[in-house]
């Protein structure tokens, strides 16, 4: 259930030190080593899986339950003003560590830089939007 050469598997095994804020049988939650904000943390499932495509549905559901619990706890403790949950999949989407993780990012009104997750917008015609919508309907 671990992958050789995976840095998060090594952190989970305790071979690489981390600032662990929560641990149970299934998850380890650590502070991000290069935090976007104060308290930026990562939920790591202990069983290695690369991304949203690989993670088991039940595990993914429990990640979200834990994210909800920690977001509330961290908001109260850090007195932050908002919160982002971010989860990147594949290099094009910004994933740099290929062991599934959910970013927990506290947000502060008085932070030096609040543009950490700003994106630009693309325009689609109403026809294109309908085509996209139709292609995605299940
Ligand atoms: P991604 O870009 O894959 O969504 O996020 C990977 C995150 O892992 C980055 O925010 C990065 O700072 C963090 N990270 C990478 N290596 C380590 C490490 O060895 N320890 C910790 N605590 N965080 C790490
Ligand atoms: Zn791993």
- Span from the CA of 51 to the centroid of ligand 2 (angstroms): 10
In whole angstroms, give the CA distance from residue 12 to residue 26: 10
Q: Is 103 a catalytic residue?
A: no
Confidence of residue 8 (pLDDT cuts 50, 70, 90): very high
**Model's pTM, two decimal places?**
0.97
Nearest to 13 by CA among 1, 22, 21: 1
Enclosing H/E stretch for 94: none
Looking at 40, 48, 99, 101, which residue is catalytic? Answer: 101
- Span from the CA of 115 to the centroid of ligand 2 (angstroms): 30
Confidence of residue 71 (pLDDT cuts 50, 70, 90): very high
117 lines ligand 1 (CB under 6 A): no
E strands present in the chain: 20-23, 27-31, 41-45, 82-86, 102-107
Q: What is the pLDDT of residues 109-124, one digit of tens each?
A: 999 999 999 999 999 9
Q: Is the dihedral of CA 70, 73, 77, 80 positive or negative?
A: positive
Q: At which residue do the structure tokens 């090594």 appear?
A: 10
Q: Which of 7, 29, 33, 84 to mutate to test the pocket of ligand 1 (most atoms within 8 A of CB)?
A: 33
């Amino acid at each position: 259930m671990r992958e050789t050469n995976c840095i998060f598997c090594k952190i989970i095994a305790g071979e690489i030190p981390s600032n662990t804020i929560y641990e149970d049988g299934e998850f380890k939650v650590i502070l991000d080593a290069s935090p976007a904000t104060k308290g930026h943390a990562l939920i790591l499932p202990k069983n290695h899986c690369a991304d949203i495509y690989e993670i088991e549905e039940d595990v993914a559901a429990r990640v979200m339950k834990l994210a909800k619990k920690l977001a509330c706890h961290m908001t109260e403790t850090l007195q932050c003003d908002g919160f982002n949950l971010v989860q990147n999949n594949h290099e094009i989407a910004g994933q740099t560590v290929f062991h599934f993780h959910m970013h927990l990012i506290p947000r502060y009104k008085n932070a030096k830089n609040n543009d950490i997750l700003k994106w630009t917008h693309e325009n689609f015609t109403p026809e294109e939007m309908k085509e996209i919508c139709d292609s995605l309907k299940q």
